[in-house]
A and B are shown apart, each in its own frame.
Chain A
Amino acid sequence: GQQLNQSPQSMFIQEGEDVSMNCTSSSIFNTWLWYKQDPGEGPVLLIALYKAGELTSNGRLTAQFGITRKDSFLNISASIPSDVGIYFCAGLNYGGSQGNLIFGKGTKLSVKP
Chain B
Amino acid sequence: NAGVTQTPKFRVLKTGQSMTLLCAQDMNHEYMYWYRQDPGMGLRLIHYSVGEGTTAKGEVPDGYNVSRLKKQNFLLGLESAAPSQTSVYFCASSSSGGALRGYTFGSGTRLTVV
Write out the residue numbers on chain A whose beta carbons fall within 8 Å of the beta carbon of B99.
31, 33, 90, 92, 99-101
- Interface segment among B13-21, B43-51, B62-70, B71-79: the answer is B43-51
Decide yes or no: A42 and B108 within 8 Å by CB, A31-B99, A100-B98, A101-B103 being known contacts.
yes
Write out the residue numbers on chain A whose beta carbons fall within 8 Å of the beta carbon of B105.
42-44
Which of B33, B58, B59, B102 has a CB less than 8 Å from the CB of A48?
A: B102
In chain B between 8 and 66, which residues have their CB closer than 8 angstroms to a CB of chain A?
33, 40-43, 45, 48, 50, 56, 58-59
Write out the residue numbers on chain B whose beta carbons fall within 8 Å of the beta carbon of A104.
42
Residues of A at the B interface (CB closer than 8 Å) are 1, 6, 9, 31, 33, 35, 40-45, 48, 88, 90, 92, 98-101, 103-106
Write out the residue numbers on chain B whose beta carbons fall within 8 Å of the beta carbon of A9.
40
Instruction: Supply 21 A–B pairs (Cβ within 8 Å), ascending by A.
Output: A33-B99, A33-B102, A35-B102, A41-B108, A42-B4, A42-B92, A42-B106, A43-B43, A44-B105, A45-B102, A88-B42, A92-B98, A92-B100, A99-B99, A100-B45, A100-B58, A100-B99, A103-B42, A104-B42, A105-B41, A105-B42
Decide yes or no: A106 and B42 within 8 Å by CB, A92-B100, A99-B98 being known contacts.
yes
Residues of B at the A interface (CB closer than 8 Å) are 4, 33, 40-43, 45, 48, 50, 56, 58-59, 90, 92, 98-108
Cβ-Cβ contact count across A and B, 8 Å cutoff? 58
Decide yes or no: A42 and B45 within 8 Å by CB, A1-B59, A33-B102, A105-B40 being known contacts.
no
- In the bound complex, CA of A113 to CA of B45 (Å): 34
Q: Report whether B102 and A88 are in contact in the complex, using a CB–CB cutoff of 8 Å.
A: no
Write out the residue numbers on chain A whose beta carbons fall within 8 Å of the beta carbon of B58.
100
- In the bound complex, CA of A31 to CA of B99 (Å): 9
Q: Report whether A31 and B108 are in contact in the complex, using a CB–CB cutoff of 8 Å.
A: no
| Shortest beta-carbon distance from B40 to chain A in Å | 7
Write out the residue numbers on chain B whose beta carbons fall within 8 Å of the beta carbon of A1.
59
